[in-house]
Amino acid sequence: MAYGANVVEMHRRAATFVDKILKGADAGTVAIEQVSRILLVVNMTAARRIGLTMPQSILARADRVID
């Protein structure tokens, strides 16, 4: 189980920064952005292997459940 940012969205935003810099923007003036949404991912395969039972309340809140 982990909290984290959407990696695909982070790469998309990084491409936007690279585009601005390649078009001549000063890298020191490009605004820093913070992740706006944190995802909860639960890996049920790993949980079963180590003998954990995930409560249904956590699974219901998860953005993604890996089985």
Q: What is the pLDDT of residue 32?
A: 84
Every domain of the chain and the residues it spans: 2-66
Distance, CA of 57 to CA of 18 (rounded, Å): 40
pLDDT in tens, the chain (67 residues): 999 998 888 899 899 999 999 999 999 999 888 888 899 999 999 999 999 999 999 999 999 999 9
Closest CA to 44 of 58, 34, 31: 58
